[in-house]
Amino acid sequence: MTRILGAILAGGRSTRFGSDKALATLGGRALIDRVADAIGTQVDALVVVGRSHPGMVSVADRPATDLGPLGGVAGALHYAATHGFAQVLTVPCDAPLLPAGCRDHLSSAGPAAYLADLPVVGWWPSSAAPVLDGLLAGGGSRSVRAFADRIGAVGIAGLDGITNINTPDDLALLAKHDIARR
């Protein structure tokens, strides 16, 4: 049976947000905790990458901090490869409304896939870690799409309800929408 690691990417600086958005709250809960709840049931184990967070295993960005999301993906892939996980589901800490079928939606596209409109939500084989290491060492593009292209990942249509929070206004709008759904 394939073991799946869930990795919450949380090493960003939150510059557009103005404060630590992983700890910003929506409906009284930190965004990072909402993401953990949303994907925790879809994976065999869960880690947070790029920071520490109480109650969660912490993994460092790789090979260093400040490499953007790919540093987090690289940290997750290496952790997965050394701990017996064949696949990694990556999600950002600022996308708190991930649907229950997110993993199935991505995995049905193949061994490597990502949401075309939010590429940090991805399904990656841990065996792709050396390819990502080469990309990061090469000094070229550090975009998730550049990595995806190198490994033949498929960009697929997004899932309804996924919202990426970049600014306080984004959070306020989502809070208004989230409260209306209750």
**Domain spans of the chain, in order of start:** 4-181
CATH annotation of 4-181: 3.90.550.10
- What whole-number distance in Å separates Cα of residue 182 and Cα of residue 173? 15
Contact 124, 73 (CB under 8 A): yes
Predicted TM-score of the model (pTM): 0.93
Cis bond upstream, residue 111 (ω within 30): no
> For residue 98, what pLDDT is reported?
86
Q: Residue 134: in which H helix or E strand, if any?
A: helix 129-138
- Mean pLDDT, contiguous 10-residue spans, the chain (182 residues): 93 76 91 95 97 96 92 97 98 91 94 95 98 91 93 89 84 75 47
CB count in 10 Å sphere of residue 67: 18
Tokens of 19: 């404060």
